[in-house]
Amino acid sequence: MVGDDQQGRDLLDLLHRAGVHTEAVVRDPSRPTTTKTRIVAEGSFVHGQHLARIDHLDRRPLDHPVETLLVERLHHVAGRVNAIAVSNYRNGVITDGVIAACHAARAQHGVLLCVDSQGGLQRFRGFDVVKCNRAEAESELGAHLPDAPAERLDAVRALRRQCDAHWLVVTLGDEGMVWATPDAAGHVPPARRATVYDVTGAGDTVLALLTLARLAGLAPADACHLANLAAGLVVQVLGNYAPTRDELESLWQAHPTPPV
């Protein structure tokens, strides 16, 4: 979803040059392309100091004709993909109709459904992989995640049942991640200590790697570990960054999944 503006055209051009198929992208002339401008102080810093961010966006739910077109595009590509990854920025695009279309795509084509919910987990009931952070998990549970490891895992198991997810992954910042499936639950500590320069894209990186790992048949602990490794790379680079396969393979070999 982009606006009919220069920012949208620039984004599509970048995607084309990166080899990303964009035939399903919808242009909505009634809203701007979401654009986030950061104010960074350089000075004597090795890396610039982020001071503020100016967001240009529209959080209105999609108009019905635009939503209908997006759903049609989703159905058109669903038979040619293995997974649908939903990164919900709560900007009005992920409507109930779009979520229903995701479920319909899975029923018809068997695609994997994955989501970074950013709150509102119940809207994504039945997704295969659901990712949220600590605050979102606690909001859904109505209580803090316990500090005791066994009690924390019990809480994550309960939340997974509430979400009816096959995998639930809760990110815990510098404490790593906890996960739960119908059969097991566990904690994956941080893969390695990384100096954080910029968290832009870290959450989307985790969602992308969890989706890839689930498709590849990795166990949940291995999937979370791989996602941790990828996020650890991303936060060390200013701006958006996509880790390469060679980088991930090198880190995977150097930092094997710790025992659960």
Domain ranges across the chain: 1-58, 68-254
- Beta-carbon contacts of 110 under 8 Å, excluding residues fewer than 6 positions away, are none
Of 147, 204, 222, 246, the active-site residue reads 204
- Report d(CA 107, CA 99) in Å as an integer: 13
Distance from C-alpha of 147 to C-alpha of 217, rounded to nearest angstrom? 30
User: Are residues 32 and 7 in contact, defined by beta-carbon separation less than 8 angstroms?
Assistant: yes
Residue 158: count other Cβ atoms within 10 Å of its Cβ.
14
- Position 259 scores a pLDDT of 66
pLDDT at 258: 74
Looking at residue 185, its pLDDT comes to: 97
Weakly modelled stretches of the chain, pLDDT under 50: none
pLDDT in tens, 153-204: 999 999 999 999 999 999 998 899 999 999 999 999 987 776 777 788 888 9
pLDDT digits (tens, 9 = 90+) for 134-159: 999 999 999 999 999 999 999 999 99
| CATH code, residues 68-254 | 3.40.1190.20
CA atoms within 13 A on the CB side of 202: 23
β-bridge mates for residue 131, sequence order? 116, 169
Chain centroid, CA 69 distance in Å: 23
pLDDT for position 199: 80
- DSSP-assigned beta bridge partners for residue 171: 133, 177
Among residues 116, 99, 114, which one has the least CA distance to residue 215?
114
204 is an active site residue = yes
